[in-house]
């Protein structure tokens, strides 16, 4: 029988109230960091895919640290195109987001003299675009990270059709991330480029939301067959894609899936993840209340499988799948731009932004934990570790349940419960449940399309 480490009340108190001397010296990850933020966006093309249109375009929205002395009130602000591929829609301005609480970003100022910086590459949820994650890009950049958020061609809902089925999207997602990483590192080596000398190639993290979370997991573990998933795809997969394996990318050093689609991978594939991992997602009971079994195990399944040390699970209370976007800020802006009718704005805000965790609280919590994790396990900096404990969540973060349970060894994947895994439902870990490693009944596809 598997031995689970339980945290005693005394240990919780020690973790909660003991702070290292260096903790007072680090910027508070729950607030804007010491850097100002620059932004640029561009499209790169992978000539080996989508040959029918001259290659596969991949849009990159990039936020990066800037010295305060390099900008002022007259410096142009960032602009975020709604459709980065053919610019058929207008752009959201940084000022629009700033008025609703997101951090300021400037248009292509010089990068900070403190470069190079670590890189975070983020893949959006299925149907989402890069500007849906502006809050992550700006906040992490202010703490010394370069953040590249992608928009995936034929995979970003209403603003940039066409629309690929899940099999093709799953094939393209990790490949888009790897190709974008290669292009970013090439610009990093090109004199005269805005990105020259900006990135540390040895400090690269992958993140992603929903299907983008699958991409991050696949870049760490690989995927043996994109057609062999836990989803009911609702489609006939193109035969040329089935049997296709996706290799991991060794340049990725840590991963941070956000409500990631673990069901696209088998449990044994997830168990190949050896890079430090923090999975953030919806809290267990919210999944159980809103979706049929075994969806409530969505986040716990990743945490149970991953063999990395450390492996963390952070459940965001009273959240839903779209709480990890800045959609509650984008919707009213799109209404003012005349893109969404006011009745749609009112309806969407009522459904997604009322009676849930407030958007500002969700953003602050997600980015605080991302920064603490990346600073600790990608950059090996001290002063943030106390945040990555159950005790900190219990005493400081009422919106998070935090788990640090880990396996004895890799053999426990098959030794203890061959068909099921065991997980803690709630912090501080006194109540356990079981979930199927690979559900016999496939799960329906969950779309992230705001407008059908």
The residues, ordered by sequence, that sit 6+ positions from 66 with a Cβ below 8 Å of its Cβ are 35, 36, 37, 38, 106, 109, 110, 111, 112
CATH 3.40.50.1820 fits 37-444, yes or no: yes
The pLDDT of residue 449 is: 41
Per-residue model confidence as pLDDT tens digits over 347-385: 999 999 999 999 999 999 999 999 999 999 999 999 999
Average pLDDT of the residues in 332-356: 94
Structure tokens at 107: 């248009």
pTM across the whole model: 0.91
β-bridge mates for residue 151, sequence order: 59
Rounded to a whole number of angstroms, the CA Rg of the chain reads 21
How would residue 409 be classed by pLDDT, with cut points 50, 70 and 90?
very low
* CA-based nearest residue to 180, from 145, 141, 209, 146: 146
Residue 213 pLDDT > 90: yes
- Whether 452 shows a pLDDT value over 60: the answer reads no
pLDDT of 416: 57
Is the pLDDT score of 9 beyond 70? no
Give the model confidence (pLDDT) of 10-20 as tens digits: 333 333 333 34
Looking at residue 231, what is its pLDDT?
A: 79
Tell me the C-alpha distance between 227 and 237, whole Å: 7
Which letter does DSSP use for residue 40 in this model? E
pLDDT value of residue 417: 64
Instruction: Locate the domains of the chain by residue range.
Output: 37-444
Question: Mapping DSSP to helix (H, G, I), strand (E, B) and coil, where does residue 171 land?
Answer: helix
**200, exposed or middle or buried, with CB in 10 Å at 0-12, 13-18, 19+?**
middle
Q: Are 412 and 200 in contact (CB under 8 A)?
A: no
Mean pLDDT over 311-338 rounds to 95
Q: What angle do CA 150, 357, 288 make, to 5 degrees?
A: 90
What is the helix (H) or strand (E) element at residue 278, kind and residue range? Answer: strand 277-282
pLDDT digits (tens, 9 = 90+) for 29-78: 999 999 999 999 999 999 999 999 999 999 999 999 999 999 999 999 99
Residue 407 pLDDT level (bands cut at 50, 70, 90):
low
Per-residue DSSP letter, 202: E
Task: Give the mean pLDDT of the chain.
Answer: 88
Q: How far apart are CA 120 and CA 441, in angstroms?
A: 35
% the chain with pLDDT above 70: 89
pLDDT of residue 174: 98
Report residue 261 as tokens: 């689609």
| Structure confidence by residue, pLDDT tens digits, 97-144 | 999 999 999 999 999 999 999 999 999 999 899 999 999 999 999 999
SS3 150: strand
End-to-end CA distance of the chain: 48
Higher pLDDT among residues 421 and 101, named by residue: 101
Which SS3 state, helix, strand or coil, does residue 246 take? strand
């Amino acid at each position: 029988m598997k031995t689970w480490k339980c945290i005693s009340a005394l240990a919780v108190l020690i973790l909660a109230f003991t702070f290292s001397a260096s903790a007072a010296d680090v910027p508070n990850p729950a607030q804007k960091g010491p850097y100002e933020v620059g932004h640029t966006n561009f499209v790169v093309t992978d000539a080996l895919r989508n040959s029918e249109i001259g290659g596969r375009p991949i849009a990159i929205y990039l936020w990066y640290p800037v010295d305060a002395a390099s900008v002022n009130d007259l410096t142009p602000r960032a602009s975020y195109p709604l459709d980065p591929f053919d610019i058929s829609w207008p752009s959201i301005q940084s000022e629009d987001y700033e008025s609703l609480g997101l951090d300021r970003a400037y248009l292509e100022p010089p990068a900070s003299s403190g470069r190079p910086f670590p890189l975070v590459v983020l893949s959006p949820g299925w149907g989402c675009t890069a500007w849906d994650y502006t809050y992550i890009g700006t906040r992490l950049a202010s703490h010394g990270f370069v953040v590249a958020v992608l928009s995936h061609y034929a995979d970003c809902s209403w603003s940039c059709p066409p629309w690929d089925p899940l099999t093709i999207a799953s094939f393209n997602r990790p490949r888009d991330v790897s190709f974008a990483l290669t292009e970013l590192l090439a610009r990093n080596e090109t004199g005269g480029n805005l990105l020259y000398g900006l990135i540390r190639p040895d400090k690269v993290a992958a993140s992603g939301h929903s299907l983008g979370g699958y991409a991050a997991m696949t870049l760490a573990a690989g995927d043996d067959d994109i057609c062999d998933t836990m989803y009911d795809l609702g489609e006939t997969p193109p035969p040329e894609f089935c049997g296709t394996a996706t290799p991991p990318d060794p340049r990725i050093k840590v991963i941070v899936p956000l409500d990631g689609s673990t069901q696209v991978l088998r449990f044994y594939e997830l168990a190949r993840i050896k890079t430090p991992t923090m999975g953030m997602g919806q809290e267990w009971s919210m999944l159980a209340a809103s979706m049929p079994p075994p969806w409530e195990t969505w986040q716990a399944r990743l945490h149970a499988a991953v063999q990395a040390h450390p492996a963390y699970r952070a459940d965001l209370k009273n959240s839903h799948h779209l709480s990890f976007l800045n959609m509650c800020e984008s919707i009213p802006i799109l209404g003012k731009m005349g893109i969404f009718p006011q009745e749609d704005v009112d309806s969407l805000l009522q459904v997604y932004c009322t009676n849930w965790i407030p958007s500002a609280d969700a953003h602050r919590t997600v980015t605080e934990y991302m920064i603490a994790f990346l600073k600790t396990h990608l950059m090996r900096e001290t002063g943030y570790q106390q945040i990555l404990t159950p005790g900190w969540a219990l005493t400081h973060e009422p919106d998070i349940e935090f788990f640090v349970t880990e396996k004895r060894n890799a053999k426990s994947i098959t030794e203890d419960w061959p068909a099921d895994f065991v997980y803690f439902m709630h912090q501080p870990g006194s109540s356990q449940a079981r979930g199927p490693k690979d559900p016999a009944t496939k799960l329906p596809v969950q779309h992230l399309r705001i407008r059908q």
